[in-house]
Amino acid sequence: MTLPPPRQHVAGGQLPRHRHDHGYAAVVLAGTYEEAGDNGRRIVGPGDVIVHGAFEAHLNRTPPAGALVVNLPLPHQALPAFGAVTDPDSIARAAERDVSAAVALLVDQHRPARSPPSDWPDLLAAALREGPVRIGDWSRAHGLSAEHVARGFRQVFGEGPLAYGREVRARAALASSLSGELSLAEIAQATGFSDQAHMTRAVVALTGRPPGAWRRSNPFKTEVLSGAI
């Protein structure tokens, strides 16, 4: 998917897990909703900011009243996944005239906000963002069955833990490939893939292109790829 509209009304209900191919920030102007995505889960309200990296996926659960957000492209600035601003309305007004000015206001006002894990799906998501997890071992360590974990995690995040972890690692591999500092084989090892071919398949499944092709023609030279492990 391309970028969402600049000013967006998030309707009540659940928006299934989806991804955008460019990074952007969503500044909440009114209402509340829950987001569960590749950088964790959080309930947001007016003044909160969620930063989405390129190819990052998430779903939304919104009360019937809905929510209003302004979406801004983030081509230059790396910001934490969750944060807050002091005057979201000023950012929205600026966005109507000059998107670059609105982004500058966002960066100036932005303050990071931690979203600590609160239950076992959040704890597992945080572990998966750190690296590969043996789901059976993790489940036993937390007094849960592997079947319950797989089913419950999918209900919260919109996909199973194995797929979630694989996509997080694929995004990390893509980010490392674009930096050009390591060989693709070294990146595969660093991001928890069994070999370069395994990593390549995961990146292709996520983005439609292999990491080598992204490295040769990098369209994200000034864009944030957040969420790398």
Q: Does residue 73 lie in a domain region?
A: yes
Boundary of a domain, candidates 57, 82, 112: 112
Pick the closest to residue 131 from 183, 208, 190, 180 (CA basis). 190
Are 30 and 49 contacting, i.e. CB atoms less than 8 angstroms apart? no
In the predicted structure, residue 229 carries a pLDDT above the cut 80: no
Give me the mean pLDDT over the 194-198 stretch: 95
In the 8-state DSSP scheme, what is residue 205?
H
**11 and 106 share a domain?**
yes
Mapped onto helix, strand or coil, the DSSP state of residue 63 is coil
* Span 63-110, pLDDT tens digits: 999 999 999 998 665 789 999 999 999 999 999 999 999 999 999 999
Residue 201: Cβ-neighbour burial (10 angstroms; 0-12, 13-18, 19+)? middle
Q: Could you tell me if 105 and 127 lie in one domain?
A: no
Quickly count: other Cβ atoms within 10 Å of residue 49's Cβ.
27
Enter the DSSP assignment of 31: E
Q: Which two tokens stand for residue 90?
A: 């000023």
- 188 inside domain: yes
pLDDT in tens, 9-56: 999 999 999 998 889 999 999 999 999 999 999 999 999 999 998 899
**42: part of which helix (H) or strand (E)?**
strand 40-44
Is 229 part of a structural domain of the chain? no
Q: Which of 88, 112, 136 is the last residue of a domain?
A: 112
* In a shared domain, residues 105 and 11: yes
208 and 181 fall within a common domain:
yes
Residue 141: domain span: 120-216
> Please, what is the average pLDDT of the chain?
91
Average pLDDT over residues 122-133: 94
Same domain, 154 and 102: no
221 belongs to a structural domain: no
User: Is 2 contained in some domain?
Assistant: no
Q: Count structural domains, the chain.
A: 2
Q: Render 120-169 in DSSP notation, one character per residue.
A: HHHHHHHHHHHS---HHHHHHHTT--HHHHHHHHHHHHSS-HHHHHHHHH
Map residue 89 onto helix, strand or coil.
helix
Is residue 49 helix, strand or coil?
strand
User: pLDDT tier at 228 (50, 70, 90 boundaries)?
Assistant: very low
pLDDT at 218: 77
Q: Are residues 11 and 108 in the same domain?
A: yes
In a shared domain, residues 59 and 124: no
- Identify the pLDDT of residue 21: 87
The CATH code of the domain that includes 165 is 1.10.10.60
CATH number of residue 70's parent domain: 2.60.120.10
Does residue 226 fall inside a structural domain?
Answer: no
Domain boundary among 112, 128, 163: 112
Query: Does some domain include residue 44?
Result: yes
Contact 56, 227 (CB under 8 A): yes
Distances (CA, A) of 134 to 54, 64, 131, 159, 167: 27, 38, 10, 17, 16
> How many whole angstroms separate alpha carbon 106 and alpha carbon 8?
17
Span between the terminal Cα atoms of the chain, in Å: 23
User: Tokens in use for 60?
Assistant: 């939304």
State whether 164 and 98 are in the same domain: no
pLDDT, tens digit, for every residue of 12-24? Answer: 999 999 998 889 9
Eight-state DSSP code of residue 78: -
Write the CB contacts of 12 (distance below 8 Å, at least 6 apart in sequence): 62, 63, 64, 65, 66
Is 133 inside a domain boundary? yes
Task: Give me the torsion for CA of 175, 176, 178, 183, rounded to 10°.
Answer: -160
